[in-house]
Chains A and B, each alone.
Chain A
Amino acid sequence: MSGTADKPDLNLEVEAGNFHYPEDYAYDAGRGLTAETVNYICDVKRDPDWIREFRLRALELFTKQANPTHWASKDLNTLDFDQIRYYLAKGQQAKRSWEEVPEDVKRTFERLGVPEKERKFLAGVEAQFDSEAAYSNIKQAVADEGVIFVGSTEGLHNYPEIFRPWFGKVIPSGDNKYAALNSAVFSGGSFIYVPKGVKLKHPLQAYFRINAEQFGQFERTLIIADEGAELTYMEGCTAPKFETATLHSAVVELVALRGAKIQYITVQNWSANVFNLVTKRGLAMEEAEIKWIDCNIGSRLTMKYPGVVLQGRKARGEVVSIALANSGQHQDTGAKMIHAADETTSNIIAKSISIGKGRASYRGLVRIPRHLRGCKNNTVCDALLINSDSRTDTYPAVSVRGHGNSAQHEASVSKVSAEQIFYMRQRGLTEAQALSLSVNGFVNDLVRQFPLEYSVELKRLIDLEMEGSVG
């Protein structure tokens, strides 16, 4: 078993991702953001009028809203929206075969091991390079069942009858400044529809890659699981290490209709110059289940609070979150559970690790209004501090009213002790190996919920982070 277990299955490590190719784009919206930028994107993408209106309205909302620095990191103010490039693409149409993908883009994804994984264990893959998907394909057997897996542009052009009713409904453009920004300039991302009763055995995967400097990636994903359908979606993200700030601001909307199940897995390892400001939310109808498994390593500042609106009776929502903050990084992550029907249940398990001067914050919002009956929430959030100047904070906002509803919140902070490290070193492990083993042990119960390919990769990423953290 060890023979294959340690081989890299998904190359998400920063060193492996630290390369980029010279820029050569057919489409470039230039720097800065005005109505003109938005119109350029609409023209290039041949957006229908309703999308153009949607974008321009969102641009207004974005311009009106201030950065939320009254509660969030002041570091947000260092983002210079006039310097960012909002749209860079080589072409409009994602290719169905790797042979047709431009050579440098193909090489990028080959170096990251994407085509190989596709052959091995995936039902479908989308690979996005800067603003647009370069490649998108699903296995024939999956397509034959009526599953749609395309880019967001193709989704809104070719399947408006499914796309339009849900688009922007789970996360309205005005939800927050960065959701508004995404709504104004979005490109790329996935549109997935799984028909009634279809249960996908293998995961669908998207891979997001930033190649250009001072660039903003704004992918937009909408996933709809029709009644009784089931799917697992995985995304991986990397970018090269640039000196200047790069922005990744995605919006992901999930809709699980009656009895459907969606599992959404993220393993991201952005380089330390990336601002990662993402809004993710799911809508779970009667007896539906949405589970976010979210793993955040890397980036300069991540703000991400995956949420579930429990809209139908007996709906279930779960967030499993792992965040690792190294020096110079702030992982501001958490979860939102909005109960809106009787007998809904939600679970949040969040674990964070702070290394060096790294900072991990947990923000949790749980709301159960007075008129509901039989709702339950359980929240566990554990923090592990590696060094004495590592930092962690917890900001829970729990509002549970009414009779017969319950919420539990447990939080713990622990520190890797010098005795524990000495004990492991006495067995022959180096300091980095010992730290790495401690950290892996801390998140072990959560990592087990990941598909094997991802848990192996995650372990490797943790090892690499710990190696770098020992002086």
Chain B
Amino acid sequence: MSRIEIRNLHASVAGREILQGLNLVLPRGEVHALMGPNGSGKSTLSKVMAGHPDYAVTAGEVLLDGENILAMEPDERARKGLFLAFQYPSEIPGVTIANFIRAALQARLPEGGELDAVEFYQTLYQKMDELEMDRAFTARAVNDGFSGGEKKRNEILQMAMLNPAYAVLDETDSGLDIDALRVVADGVNRLRGPRLGALVITHYQRLLNYIVPDHVHVMVQGRIVRGGGKELALELEARGYDWIIKEAGLTVTPEPADGAAR
């Protein structure tokens, strides 16, 4: 029961169907990679799972520990334990990282519950040290004026603080240099264990050298067309995606510009 199960998921944005009958199982305690060519709908899947209002689900289910979450508000899904590390995290001017994370934790407490401030800062500082983030960061406004690497670290910091049961990491490697990539990957690896199920979305195999997946899903044209072990990622790196598309009986279409189907 402890898993996310996606069944026959169809979803569209602005009248265009992006997810076309997607099936995927992510057990808690495992790290899966989701790979696929640009425009295959990887980011759309993450947004649909999190409940972004621009995406319309036309069929299918997303079961979180057996419960369909598709009718839930985005914040309710989050409080159920679903976390999305954004590819392009939003800026929140004037709201410090510390206050933001605190508000998010506070939102998970029962009515009238009060967060222990001392404990909160202890945990926060410890996680920041692990992510090699300067403590001065706590006083900076969320993502406001952050570099690409700082934004991604901030996403992982929030994930570490919120302790989700399931996390979807959307192209967390994009825009990172090799040092930042290592730090971010270390951050994810530290959270690995029986209490976390993670879906790591990436276009490139590079990240998977650092976060070694238990399973690899390949997504093409809104569906999962193939699955396999970590060696599948290496094969994709070497041979590209065209052979998989052909094997799946689909036609190879030229790749749209990066992010066109976000």
Residues of A participating in the B interface, judged by any CB pair closer than 8 Å:
1-3, 6, 417-420, 422-431, 433-434, 437-438, 440-445
Q: Is the CB of B141 within 8 A of A441?
A: yes
Q: Is the CB of B100 within 8 A of A1?
A: no
Residue B93 is within 8 A (CB to CB) of chain A in the complex: yes
Instruction: Point out the residues of chain A lying under 8 angstroms from B184, CB to CB.
Output: none
Residue of A417, A418, A441 ringed by the most chain B CB atoms within 10 A? A441
Instruction: Name the distance in Å between A28's Cβ and chain B's nearest Cβ.
Output: 45
Instruction: Name the distance in Å between A67's Cβ and chain B's nearest Cβ.
Output: 38
Q: Is the CB of A443 within 8 A of B94?
A: yes
* Set A422, A438, A442: member contacting B53, Cβ < 8 A: A422
Instruction: Point out the residues of chain B lying under 8 angstroms from A424, CB to CB.
Output: 90, 92, 100
* Set A3, A428, A431, A437: member contacting B92, Cβ < 8 A: A437
Instruction: Point out the residues of chain B lying under 8 angstroms from A423, CB to CB.
Output: 86, 89-90, 92
How long is the Cα–Cα vector from A424 to B79 in the complex, in angstroms? 12
- In chain B, positions 170-209 with a C-beta closer than 8 Å to chain A are none
Q: Is the CB of A425 within 8 A of B78?
A: yes
Instruction: Name the distance in Å between A452's Cβ and chain B's nearest Cβ.
Output: 15
Q: Is the CB of B78 within 8 A of A427?
A: yes
How long is the Cα–Cα vector from A423 to B104 in the complex, in angstroms? 11
**Pairs A–B under 8 Å by Cβ, sample size 17:** A2-B114, A2-B115, A6-B114, A418-B54, A420-B91, A422-B90, A424-B92, A424-B100, A427-B103, A427-B107, A428-B108, A430-B107, A431-B73, A437-B95, A440-B94, A441-B94, A441-B95
Please tell me the number of chain B residues within 8 Å of chain A, measured between CB atoms.
35
Instruction: Point out the residues of chain A lying under 8 angstroms from B91, CB to CB.
Output: 420
- Closest-by-CB residue of A relative to B116 is A2
- Closest-by-CB residue of B relative to A419 is B90
Q: Is the CB of A420 within 8 A of B117?
A: no
Instruction: Point out the residues of chain B lying under 8 angstroms from A438, CB to CB.
Output: 92, 95
How long is the Cα–Cα vector from A422 to B52 in the complex, in angstroms? 7
Q: Quick one: given A2-B115, A422-B74, A426-B74, are A437 and B93 in contact (CB under 8 Å)?
A: no
Residue B75 is within 8 A (CB to CB) of chain A in the complex: yes
Residue of B77, B95, B99, B158 ringed by the most chain A CB atoms within 10 A? B95
* Set B51, B75, B86: member contacting A428, Cβ < 8 A: B75
Residues of B participating in the A interface, judged by any CB pair closer than 8 Å:
50-54, 73-75, 77-79, 83-84, 86, 89-95, 99-101, 103-104, 107-108, 114-117, 141, 158, 162
Q: Is the CB of A433 within 8 A of B50?
A: no
How long is the Cα–Cα vector from A3 to B162 in the complex, in angstroms? 21
Contacts A423-B89, A426-B75, A441-B95 supplied; 6 other A-B pairs, CB < 8 Å: A2-B116, A424-B92, A427-B107, A428-B79, A429-B107, A440-B94
How long is the Cα–Cα vector from A417 to B84 in the complex, in angstroms? 18
Q: Is the CB of B84 within 8 A of A426?
A: yes
Q: Is the CB of A420 within 8 A of B92?
A: yes
Residue of A2, A422, A430 ringed by the most chain B CB atoms within 10 A? A422
How long is the Cα–Cα vector from A134 to B66 in the complex, in angstroms? 63
Instruction: Point out the residues of chain A lying under 8 angstroms from B115, CB to CB.
Output: 2
Q: Quick one: given A420-B92, A441-B95, are A429 and B117 in contact (CB under 8 Å)?
A: no
Instruction: Name the distance in Å between A440's Cβ and chain B's nearest Cβ.
Output: 7
